[in-house]
Amino acid sequence: MAQLRPEQLEQHLATQLAPVYLVAGEEPLIIEESLGLIRRAASQAGFAEREVLHGEGNFDWNGLLEARDNLSLFAERRLIELRLPGGKPGQQGSRILQAFAAQPPEDTLLIVATERLEARQRSSGWVANLASAGVMVYAWPVRGDEMPRWIEQRMRQRGLSPTPDAISLLAQRAEGNLLAGAQEIDKLWLIQGHGEVDAATVRAAVVPNQRYDVFDLPAAARAGDRARTLRIAQSLREADEPPTLVLWALARDLRVLVELQSASRRGDGSDGIFGRHRIPRPQQRSYTRLAARGQQAAWQQLLARAARADALVKGAEAGRPWDELIQLADQLACAAADESAARGATGGRQR
């Protein structure tokens, strides 16, 4: 099985291009950047046509084999990118992916992009066959103690020379969010270009602009990060954010989780739910992952608590609306953290 770490991918692509790539993991930023590297290398190698397929809902898996077998009228070499949310192709999809891996055509390059794969998924036949036919790239989560090293590497890639204090301050500002860290590094590069960056530069460029919005709160809660959830909630309270907006953001997430689980039991797709609630595609993975492993009763109970918070916000019941909102956000974070702990106990983290 050919498996690369994301940081090894660029060097690999400089020397060869495999017929199949499976890109998965738990860091959306790293996944998207890895996909970008593969697309660019494929384009430089003459794969001029790109076809994107979405393997969810009522996806016709035979279409993948048809896309493989149909020669393009406009390009001799073609890239097929299969998006597979949840990493569960089902029996038919698994069979067809293995058939594709067994006979990858010379004029077609296949990329399968998904999110977190459980241990049993990583050992499944379709994953093993895709990796054997080509390369698997897995983006493991960057832990809190790994964040400073990731920040430093990213800054040096940008031509910045950070001091230890600058690295520490940026890591604290990013709070484990790679996208936020990357954006702050890009901002520093735009401000001063190449050269040394110290803590004073970071503090002047980054820290004064720190401000949370209402969507940061449910995102932190979905991640199971209680400390960050409470910090954001308190910041929103001090900034006099309208409680109605904060409640709407929390309640929307709970409705999405409940609806995703109901749709899954019926065998329905998730596109309609995400579209109705206007959930951006980059954020959909976190909802899908949490709904897949969470207990519906927990989300329904929290949704009922959101109804009580609504009564407090509207003055229909006596109480302190912000206290209720903070407790609701904290309970959502607790529920998400409990599911993450259960997942770790059963699956574990293997490298």
Which CATH number characterizes residue 232's domain?
A: 1.20.272.10
Indicate if the pLDDT at residue 132 is higher than 50: yes
* Residues 66, 157 within the same domain: no
Number of domains in the chain: 3
Please tell me whether residues 276 and 250 are part of one structural domain: yes
Mean pLDDT over 324-328 rounds to: 92
Query: Is 53 inside any structural domain?
Result: yes
Regarding whether 169 and 96 lie in a shared domain, the answer is: no
Is residue 108 situated within a structural domain?
yes
117, pLDDT greater than 60: yes
Same domain, 251 and 191: no
Final residue belonging to a domain, choices 173, 194, 209? 209
* CB-CB contact of 85 with 270 (8 Å): yes
Last residue of a domain, one of 109, 139, 169: 139
Query: Pick the residue with more confidence: 147 or 74?
Result: 147
pLDDT in tens, 243-294: 898 999 999 999 999 898 888 888 788 888 888 888 877 788 888 888 887 6
Mean pLDDT of all residues in 95-99: 90
Q: Which residues pair with 118 in a beta bridge?
A: none
Shared domain check, 203 and 301: no
Residues 223 and 322 in one domain: yes
Instruction: Report the alpha-carbon distance of residue 12 to residue 316 in Å, rounded.
Output: 62
Residue 351 lies in a domain: no
Whether 7 and 96 map to the same domain: the answer is yes
**Mean pLDDT across 138-153:** 89
Structure tokens belonging to residue 325 = 């909102």
CA distance 308 to 321: 9
Which residue(s) pair with 139 in the sheet?
25
Q: Dump pLDDT digits (tens) for 22-52.
A: 999 988 889 989 999 999 999 999 888 888 8
Last residue of some domain: 176, 209, 242?
Answer: 209
What are the tens digits of pLDDT across the range 193-223? 788 899 888 887 775 445 677 888 998 898 8
Residues listed for the chain = 351
Range of the domain at 189: 144-209
Lowest mean pLDDT among 80-89, 130-139, 320-329: 80-89
Pair (183, 269) in one structural domain: no
Give the number of other CB atoms < 10 A from CB of residue 162. 25
pLDDT at 27: 87
